[in-house]
Amino acid sequence: MFLALALLCGFLFLYPYLIYPVVLRFLRPQPYNLSQDAPLPTATLVFCAFNESATLADKIANLRAIKEVVPNIQFKAYVDLSTDDTLAILQQHSDLIDVHAAQERTGKALGMRRLAAASTTDIMIFTDANVMVEPETVPRMLRYFSEPSIGGVCGSLVYVNPDESVTASVNSAYWRLEEYIKKSESRSGSTMGGDGSLFATRRSLYPEVPPHLLDDFIVSMSTIFAGFRLISAPDVIAYERSAAGSGDEFKRKRRIACRAYSSHRYLVPSLRRMTLLNRYKYVSHRLIRWYGAMFAILSVVFGVLWIGETAGLLWGAVALACIAAIMAMILASKKKQSRIAELVRAVWATMLGIIDARRGKIYQTWQPAQSR
């Protein structure tokens, strides 16, 4: 029994990364038809900023380039009581950006809600202050909405600094897998949620998001709850610098995991009303992955118990000591095993975030990663 449980938990740990992407290839495709003749819908691109003065020159240049491609697009920014020159820099470009300044720190979810309330266009495009969008791909994103069944479109994010550090390299590799899964899910209907780097929805589908929850996750999933498709568009590209410091990335992953799992608990009633296929994809893509550290730990525990049961308690204790020593070496190493260490830290950060969420901890505001 212990061996069976060890193998089952090990399978569940690996399933979202190795098995689920293969399963997606066998799901029945659901094609859609885009109209090349219909006029593009009107759109507003929105983002929130806190202490982003170092990235704003590039961001503003990127917005002006998008404006040249889509002249009638609107831009809105919410500045969450920055302590640097973010607000002043953005206000210098009031001809381009409609700037909303917070009177107190509110967090991104409330900022996005205020920008949504101030928008009047057909489509809202959500992005981050440090993300650069390939201008020529914005019309492609808007073109997807010519298909009535599509309610949301997720762009494809590329990290531009994978060689800067081991942390950045692991993040880039993980995100390539994530993009592959999103595209494969989209092929069979809908992908299970977008991320804040770049996605768009019909403005009429925008929900009210509690301030402490993950707005990009809830807003994008709400398109599915409303009966529309949420697709991943490989021809809509955004670029971002990954955090290069392991400590920065650990804190970011823990914060995001806490907010994502709290958002999951908030969405449970809506999740239960999804189709069977979408529930399968959601559990495979999201829920099992969130509990990855727990499955890994249980796999080791049951494996040690199996060794103790079949070979004796002494050998069980030896096995446990060896596993503990190997894990300590991996986490302490800065050489060949450092990539493995980054993966272990990422899984552990996610588990700590889940524990935070279950304890009721709230991450409402954010700090830009210093190593970004």
pLDDT tens per residue, range 1-37: 888 999 999 999 999 999 999 999 999 999 999 999 9
Domain residue limits at 309: 1-25+36-42+124-372
Q: Which amino acid is at 130?
A: N
Q: Is residue 64 part of a domain?
A: no
Q: Is residue 184 part of a domain?
A: yes
The string of pLDDT tens digits covering residues 48-84 is: 999 999 999 999 999 999 999 999 999 999 999 999 9
**What is the pTM assigned to this prediction?**
0.92
Strands 74-79 and 43-49: parallel
Q: CA 70 to CA 64: how far, in whole Å?
A: 10
Task: Note the pLDDT of residue 2.
Answer: 85
What DSSP character marks residue 214? -
Q: Is residue 339 part of a domain?
A: yes
pLDDT at 336 over 50: no
The tally of domains found in the chain comes to 1
Q: Is residue 148 part of a domain?
A: yes
Strands 97-101 and 123-127: unpaired
Average pLDDT, the chain: 92
Q: Is residue 96 part of a domain?
A: no
Q: Is residue 283 part of a domain?
A: yes
Q: Is residue 101 part of a domain?
A: no
Record the tokens describing residue 133, joined without a space: 């969008």
Q: Is residue 226 part of a domain?
A: yes
Q: CA 204 to CA 187: how far, in whole Å?
A: 24
